[in-house]
Every structure is written in structure tokens, then in C-alpha cells.
Structure 1
Amino acid sequence: MFKEMVIKRQQLTLKQYVYIASSRNYAKRNIVKVGTTNNPKVRINGYQTGRCEDDRFGYVYIMPRYKGKAMESFIFSFLEEFRYGDHRRELFHIHFDVLMRFMKVFEHFALDANKVFNDALSKYYDTYHDLEPASVDHLFIHSMDEHLEGHFGIITEGDGGGYIPPIKYDMEPHPHSLTTKQVNDALRPFGMALVGEYTGRFEQQQTFQCVSVLKHEFQTSWASLNARKELGCPHFRKFCILNDVPTYVYADRTYKHVKTYTNFSTLKQEEPHINHQLLKNIIREERWLTPHEGQIYSILCPNDERMLSSTKPLTPAEQAIIDALETDFELMNVQILPSTMNFIIAIHEEENKAYFDTSATQFSNLLNAVGCDRKVNKKTIPNCNKRYAGYRWITSLNNICSPYTMIDLQTLRS
């Protein structure tokens, strides 16, 4: 029955116009009139009443549009803060150059949209009766919070407004009659399992678990989980994984372990002043050694020397997190991390001190600044594990042993 519905076979045509008009005196005060019309030749005459000849209104911009009023309302919503007077709907107080930057964006959108819609409609009209109705089961949004954060970077407060997705039943018998084994058999391909016994009340909250090494537990109903089980554990996804795994904090440049947060909620509570969304983005975008507020936040636990190391063996949990983040750790470890963590270090063994910096240029003058009488030529500083000027030189903080006091030459600069 629905296949026989009548659709109007017509293209979207540009029969209306959005315009900007002004006069010489208005323009001097950065005042313009924005509106829409079916006939721009006639519309402008309505503005000339009572105006002298040398201060008549004229168009300074015209854009053809399929639905002029709709575009006018859209533009007005963006220009609301520039409205000139409380009762002058079409007058705006804004510099013309700034306004034109906005209008060019609207113009490109309008013309591109018109072309895309007409092309799509032409094909749609010709194939409509051959199209089978599409299934939207795989498109249902199952978690409003995850969807908004993952697609738009918007972090919502609360529980998502109580949104419950459509229920999907793809197993027999009816959900009331399922056994615990049947539930787990359905969840196993997607890395999840039921904790405890199935109650038979498919809309009741029960505890489920991710069967990965991370063993995330979460509360939901079988009806809700069954509808989105193809997505896997709600905690084991790129835009959620960081919420429920430890975050390790290291000092910038020295990479010494400072503290560990068991989950991201604890971090947010104890460090409310930092930008938490930016911190997550740094990790997701593979900028793992980018400091934030003077510290480095990482999913990598410290090595045996209690330091951040990119070359230590990954734990099963770390590998699971890296997989969820879709991070090419091997490539990052080869191309990014070593170059960032590569320091030149001068060890003064008698004083148990180790001076470090990223540049050999700093050593010739900054070591003298701390009272060292040993002359260092930046061109003579040798490669790793050689002695020169009374120091032992190496090139990785991860090779430093704990007895040495680490001194960052950056802190000695005046």
C-alpha cells in the first residue's frame, strides 16, 4: 500500500531571493537590511518612501533560493545578536565585510544543497517503485551519551534523558522463556556474558560483563542489550574505553611516575581544573607524549624503574585498550615516541647527578651555570655510553638508574 503513494515529480527551483540592502547613511553606521522576496525589482521600492534621492536603498547582495523564507529564518537565527533595535526585524548592526563572510557560507550551502537534492531526486523518481523498504535496525542509536560524544564531541550530563532504543528480538523462544545458556550463547560472539542467572524478566536490570581481559561490568536490561549487542561491550569502544581503565600520570620531560587513577571519574574528581575532554583527545589522537598542565597522562603503566617507557612489553590490558582505541602503536612507537623521548644526558657519577636536555647546544653554557668547571663542546659530545669532559653520556631517560638525581637543564635557564 505504501509503495503506491503519490510523489510529486518536480525539481527544486530557485524562485525566491534572499537579499541585503542598505543606503549610504545606513552603511556609514554599519546598518543593513536582510530579507527575502519573490520579486527583488518590486521589493526595493517599498523601502524608498520618505527617503531623499541620494540616500535611497539599494541591493548590495542577492542570493537565489528554493525556499527563501526558510533560509531567511536560518540566517536570522545566526544574526540574532546583531539585531538593530527590538522591533526592527530585518535590520542588523554589523560590519558588511563580516556579514559577507557569513553570507558566503550560507550561499555555498544553499547552492550545493540544491544541486545535490536535484541529482538525488532525479534518480529517486526513476527508481522509486523498484526500491525495497530499508531496515533501520542497525542504525538505531542505542546510547544517546555515547552517540553525542562520539560523533560531535558533546559530553552530556545525567543519564541521557531516559532514552530507550527500540527492542530487537532475534532469538527464539520468546525472551521470557530464554535460559542463561541461550543468553550467553547470543552474547558470546560479541565478547559479553551474563553475570549470574537470567531472571526471565527481559526488561529488568541485570549485570553483564565484558569477557575481555578488562572484565568490565555494566548494568542494563536484556531487552536493551539484545537490541545493540552487535556493538559489543559499551565500555570497550573507542570513545568510552578511557572512562573505565587506569590513567597513569608522569612528570613532563623526566617521565617519572607521579600517581595512578583507577578510572577517569576519579581523575576528574581529584583534578577538576584540567580540561578532561582535551586530555582524552590527546590519547585518542596518538599524541601520547604531549603534556597537559605540566604532566603526561597515559594508559601505559610504569616500567620497573617507575618511569614511562614506550619500549616495555605491553600488558594484556594495555594491548586491549590500544585495540579499542584503534591505535597503530607499533607505527607510533617507531615514528613518534622515540624521537620525543630522546634526551641527551650527562651523568656526573661522583655527585650522583644526571643533567639532561634535548639539545647538545645547551650543555656548553648551562652546565657552567651550575658551577661545573668542565668545558663541554657541543660538537664533541659523543654518542651513547661514552665518556667526555668527565661525564658519561647516554641518550635515553629509560636507561637512567634510580641513584642519580635528575636535573632538567630547562629549569636552569634564566
Structure 2
Amino acid sequence: MSFTEPLTFAYWVPNVSGGLVTSTIEQRTDWGYEYNRTLAQTAERNGFDYALSQVRYMASYGADHQHESTSFSLALLLATERLKVIAAVHPGLWHPGVLAKWVATADHLSGGRAAVNVVSGWFKDEFTSLGEPWLEHDERYRRSEEFIRALREIWTSDHAELRGDFYRIHDFDLKPKPVAVPGRAHPEIFQGGNSTAARRNGGRVADWYFSNGKDYEGFTEQVLEVREHAREAGRPQTGPGAVRFGLNGFLIARDSEREAREQLREIVAKANVEAVEGFRSAVQQAGASTGDGRGMWADSTFEDLVQYNDGFRTQLIGTPEQIADRAIEYKRRGANLLLLGFLHFQEEIEYFGRHVLPIVREKEAELAEREPEPQLVAGS
């Protein structure tokens, strides 16, 4: 990525009840469609390029109700004009051929704005309660790699072929293909995770690698490793075909740093301890199941897990100026996109568009003039 390319922004779609923090603090948000339709339109007006619909099939850890991600994403696509909507999906609960067909249709209905986030899964009960097998961690990521390869093959070939361990596709011809969008070979494929297997998949096959919340050093480490996997796979390091990077962050922008820090303190002080501990037990067991213990949430503290994708660790907390400075530094370290969560979505997305984004764009222009081409920062 050249520094002349703007940093893009996404937001978590609150299509799951409970908001984005596991806390009894007031969260002015709603998981219903009417609220989310208005929110998507607000986000589009305030500089957001993407929205990510969460995937959850049964109640867990404060998320008692949830709307299915693909149908909800299509509804948001049809309610907007420019916003790209990413639907999170689970291999093992979807067949890649069926999903490829759904995405192609959604892509035509939205003028080329559909995308998917391939989630390997951590919640065992969602699979076993439906009678589906639960694979070990690295096997789930092997399946995800095949799943992504299958999607790409189906979208780009008139006679799709794949002979894998999980999927077998023979002479499959999908018509119509997804919309031809300049600069896009097919609908964008996102994939995340912290583990070695996740980083390998990100480098080998994903268009975008999503990172959980990270400080500067942690994010830089992931970018370097994923880029090395991409290089080994023969992918370009820059330009078309290069892997791009998204980083999760929970944004608390206030007029003063004191207000922002007090807001964070109150969120954590009012944490739903039972729900956070239940979530921590489930996800850290999943992270520890990796061969090298580098899975998602393996080193997360209680405070980190109050925001269940470690969003506090990115430290997008403070005044608009402070947040813009931090966003620019993450851009210097390889970030192409920041995926944001909020306490009060409607008001805070509007605040972001009015007060934070203009400063980000000013600082981006200064960065592009000072450092036209990125030199990845190797340390903190």
C-alpha cells in the first residue's frame, strides 16, 4: 500500500444483542433491523467504507439474540448505495459452492459490494448442537483454507475443479459470475485469527487478514509474519493480489482524554463478570489448543475480554487528535483498514465523521508528503 492510498474504515454491525462490550453499562444500540438500517446509512455518510455483520447461531455469553449474518448483510446492502458489507460465515456450516452462489446473487443485487469473512470458529457448541463434527484447531484452519480456495475457483473459473480433503468440486460452472468491479478479481475474502495457522492462511489465500486488537508491536509482528507467508506462496508484496490488513479497535473519542479514560474505566468497572469469565474460559481453551499456544485470546486479560475482540488493546481512546495520531501510526505499520466498535453506535459514528476522520485525512496527507512509500516499522 502506498501512503497516498487512504486508510479505510469499517464498523461492527450490532446484529447480535448485548452490544460490543460485555458490561452492564448503558449501550445505546440495538440488534434489530430498523436500527441497523439507519446506522448503515449514517456510517455511509460519515466516511465508512465497510460494515461487518457478526455470525452467531445460538445464545452465548451475553448474546441472547442474533440475526443471521448473510441475510442481514444483504438487507443492509439494499439499504445503502456505497457501503460494502462483509458477512461472517463458518466453513462446516456452509458449503463453499452454496455460499459462492449466494454471494454472486448479493453482488448483483448490490452493484458489486458483497464480501465475506471466513471464520474458522471457536464456539464448539454451535457445531455439536447441530450434529456437525468439531475439528481440532489447526484442522479448522485447513478446512478454511480449502473453503477460500474453493470460493475463488468457483468465482473465477467456468469449469471449477478442486480435489481437497474437505471439499471436492468437479466441472462446476457458476452463472452469473460476481460483478466485474475494477481492481477486484472477485468479491473480497477476509479471514482473521492470531494463531500460526490463521497467519498462514492470511498470507496464502485471503485478500484481507483481520487482526484482533493489538498494540503497535503486536500488530507489526503479525504483519511481518503474514507477509512472509504471502511471499512464500508467491504472492506480490504490493499492488493487486497483495494481502491487505485490517485491525480491530474499540473507539472511545471524547472532547478530552480524561472523559475518554473515565468512560473506559466505567465500562470495565461494570463488566458482567460471569459472562466475561465464561467467554474467557471458552476462548482461551480454544487458543491454548493450538500447537504453539498462539491462538486468539491466548494472552488476553479480563479487561481485554470485556470487549470480546480485544478492542481496548488498540488504544483508540482519547481526543480526536490522539486517535488520529494512533490511526496514522497503525497505517505506517501496515494497516489498510480499521474495524471499529462503539458504545453508542449512532452518536459515536457521527462524532467520528465530524471530528476524527477530518484529522485522520489531514495527517495522512502529511504522511504521504513525508514518506511517499511505506517502510514497515519493525519495532515499537
Give the TM-score of the pair, scaled to structure 1.
0.19
Give the TM-score of the pair, scaled to structure 2.
0.20
Please tell me whether Structure 1 or Structure 2 has the larger radius of gyration of its CA atoms. Answer: 1
The higher-RCO structure (CA 8 Å, 6+ apart) is: 2
